[in-house]
Structure 1
Amino acid sequence: MAEDLSRPRLDPGRIHLLAPQVAEAIAAGEVIDRPAAAVKELIENSQDAGATRIVVEIEGGGTELIRVGDDGQGMAAGELAAAFQRHATSKLTSIDNLRHLHTFGFRGEALASIAAVARVTAISRAEGAHRAYEIKLAAGEVRGPVATAAPDGTVVAARDLFFNMPARRAFLRSPRTEAAACVRVAQEAALGRPDIAFEVRSGGRVVLRTSGRSSLTAVVRAVFGVEAAQALLAVEGSSGDVGVSGVLGAPRVARLTRQAMVIMVNGRRVQHRGLSAAVEGAYRGLLPTGRYPLAVLNVTCDPALVDVNVHPTKREVRLQNEGRFFDAVQHACWTAL
């Protein structure tokens, strides 16, 4: 029988599929690029679970330990095991859901990514359940879930972050710098949700505590200090279907960096040059060069106008017709100033 030259023999040669553990570690590195990213994902999971109190503990800048506990709805044994599988989520069922997101998480990557680069222990007890369950994971190995005792809610502890990615760990900054980044993530979460009580401990020391029953001004005081809290201007405005609310700092409490500009879209902390430029533009003529405003603003709109599926960290977003968002933010800031 003549050889069929139109159908070559498919020999992969030097091309091969990555081992699952290698592929997962690489993918995890896109979502969890430093300890602060893990803190952010765990806090957002707690918020999505309906927590009214969130406790964050950090040791060694987050590489030795990150522990985030909450009093949210918790998970049953089967849910706890499923939650650490990649692309497992309770928040999204179809691609159309992306147009109507009301949760921080949606890809089902965060817990799996953390478990791929750290030694993780998670304990959860569903609301009304008779017992809690514990699961342990490290680089693809899973033990549990097994029954244990714990209050309602969930606690996730990640130890030895990047223990299996020495190159990533080598490029982290000092423990002090990484710890500051972790704390800043928690501070921003507290500013976005004054109705949630936050406690943050770094190196055994309490660095942030909010009551969950206070105003945004009180949280600003806890994060930025008394002087800043005494120099706040309320922001409340709308332009069409875009709303803007929050507070601005008077020019006298301007900062040397942009870190005190916290801008959220539908409660989600975002990095968006256009919105930042709108705020800074409102202060034009009021601040000297090299000074930046203190601002905590939440921009609200129909979720369909926001594309949050832009970057693995979900910090970058695209806005439909950015001009109207820019105008709404700048007008609201001008009015307050």
Structure 2
Amino acid sequence: MSGKIIILDEFTANQIAAGEVVERPASVLKELIENSIDANSDRIDIEIKNGGIGYIKVSDNGNGIEKDDIPMAFERHGTSKIRQISDIYNISTMGFRGEALPSIASVSNVSITTKTKEQDFAVKVVYEALEQKSMSKSARAQGTTIEVKNLFFNTPARYKFLKGDKQEARYCTDIVLRLALANTHVAFSMTSNGQEVIRTNGDNFLLNCIYGIYGRDIAKDIIEINAETDDFSVSGYIGRPFASRGNRQHQSLFINNRYVKYPELNASIERAYETRIMKGRFPFYVLKLNIPSQNVDVNVHPSKIEVKISNISEIFGKLNYILKESLDKEQKAMESSVIRPSYTKYKEQEESKTILDFNNQLSAFSKEIQENKAEENEVKESKVEENTVQESITDYQNYKKE
């Protein structure tokens, strides 16, 4: 093979990009759902078969795509979300690279059916390995439906590294759970091989979303967090120490409404529990941090699940301080024999049941939570004192030395 430098053709470039963007069916699902959220959808319906390997369908009621814009959506770096490099540092959308659709379409068969408010009819376009096969009129209400079939059919090496259908389905379900928790204003439904596994009602209340996803047993043993500092604000819920779990599957951290994995912040959260739970146990939490966008770099990896924070040392310590304070208040309240709410009137759910039909119980549950809030001694909005800044930096430095 000669060392002559050439320019890769578009199809090859897209397949290489797909290696970073499309790792497995869950990656496809994440990209498609984020597109739906960016299109101002308030309802998203998901269907997968065979763990998403054989079939993925995402349907929304968002803005839709203009007929003439559809081909550009399947061109690499075709995006409606940024116009210049400076936009990346003030990004408010879930996606911005313009790589998702062409990357997905280069390793699968894709069809898109879409209609805008202004169009008289929907348009359906079919792609096979990024090659447009047909465009026709179709019928649907405003919004977009994307179907992905035969993922990795033309990249057998990639296909070989996938897990079994059940495990891939779990990965898909996990992605949808995180996106539902981040976007409580959106009603989500998901079926896997015809069985409903997720349903949220999109009422914009995080507590109700947690109840709908995780069930009564978790929702009754969580503490509300709502605090603000000069560097960030944080809201959400953390589990009481006695409700710890055997793994980290029930931990969700969001930065500027984006689900992320950030080891330093995870350590900051878990350190608040280090004298409260046994080793090998992990706290439940769903926490949302809002950090000024100029301090957050989301352009680290195409998956956007990794970010960089410029002032991480200050945030590390302050977040830990907030959570410790919240847990201390909760412990004092319990030691003072504050009566916790009774939830005995709710019917016990079978442990094996993964989908909770909670709509009939939800209003009663929320009402009881409100009635007992005074007795819960829940955390109020607070300002972390300025003298904790140096302590924050010291805590972070000690963590990095370990």
TM-score (norm 1): 0.94
Q: Deviations over 1:37-65 (max 9, x none)?
A: 11111111011000000111110001001
- 2:222 match: 232
Alignment of 1:207-218 (within 5 A): 207-213=197-203, 215-218=205-208
Identify the match of residue 161 of structure 2 among 140, 151, 171.
171
Identify the match of residue 241 of structure 2 among 240, 246, 251.
251
Alpha-carbon distance between aligned partners in 1 of 2:297 and 2:156, rounded to the nearest angstrom: 34
Alpha-carbon distance between aligned partners in 1 of 2:204 and 2:309, rounded to the nearest angstrom: 31
- Give 1:239 shift: 1.5
Alpha-carbon distance between aligned partners in 1 of 2:86 and 2:284, rounded to the nearest angstrom: 37
Q: Deviations over 1:245-274 (max 9, x none)?
A: 100111222122212110010000001111
DSSP 3-state at the match of 1:117? coil
- Give 1:156 shift: 0.6
Check conservation: 1:243, 1:328, Cα contact below 8 A: no
- Give 1:332 shift: 2.5
Alpha-carbon distance between aligned partners in 1 of 2:75 and 2:134, rounded to the nearest angstrom: 14
Counterpart amino acid of residue 202 in structure 1: S
DSSP 3-state at the match of 1:331? helix
TM-score (norm 2): 0.79
Alpha-carbon distance between aligned partners in 2 of 1:242 and 1:129, rounded to the nearest angstrom: 42
Alignment of 1:91-240 (within 5 A): 91-213=81-203, 215-240=205-230
- Give 1:298 shift: 0.7
Q: Deviations over 1:49-99 (max 9, x none)?
A: 000001111100010011111101111101222111110000010000011
Q: Deviations over 1:110-167 (max 9, x none)?
A: 1111101110001110123211111111213113432211110011110001111111
Check conservation: 2:200, 2:213, Cα contact below 8 A: no
Structure with larger RCO (C-alpha < 8 A, sep 6+): 1
Counterpart amino acid of residue 177 in structure 1: Q
Alpha-carbon distance between aligned partners in 1 of 2:66 and 2:9, rounded to the nearest angstrom: 30
Counterpart amino acid of residue 154 in structure 1: T
Check conservation: 1:237, 1:328, Cα contact below 8 A: no
Structure 1 unaligned residues grouped into runs of 5+: 1-10
- Give 1:336 shift: 2.3
Check conservation: 1:63, 1:161, Cα contact below 8 A: yes
- Give 1:307 shift: 0.3
- 1:85 match: 75
Check conservation: 2:58, 2:145, Cα contact below 8 A: yes
Alpha-carbon distance between aligned partners in 2 of 1:105 and 1:119, rounded to the nearest angstrom: 22
Q: Deviations over 1:16-56 (max 9, x none)?
A: 54443233212111100011111111111011000000111
Check conservation: 1:242, 1:328, Cα contact below 8 A: no
Check conservation: 1:80, 1:145, Cα contact below 8 A: no
In angstroms, what is the RMSD of aligned CA positions? 1.5
Alpha-carbon distance between aligned partners in 1 of 2:115 and 2:21, rounded to the nearest angstrom: 26
Would you say 1:291 and 2:281 are equivalent positions? yes
> What is the total number of aligned residue pairs between the two structures?
327
Please state which structure has a larger fraction of its residues in strand.
Answer: 1
- 2:261 match: 271
Alpha-carbon distance between aligned partners in 2 of 1:332 and 1:189, rounded to the nearest angstrom: 25
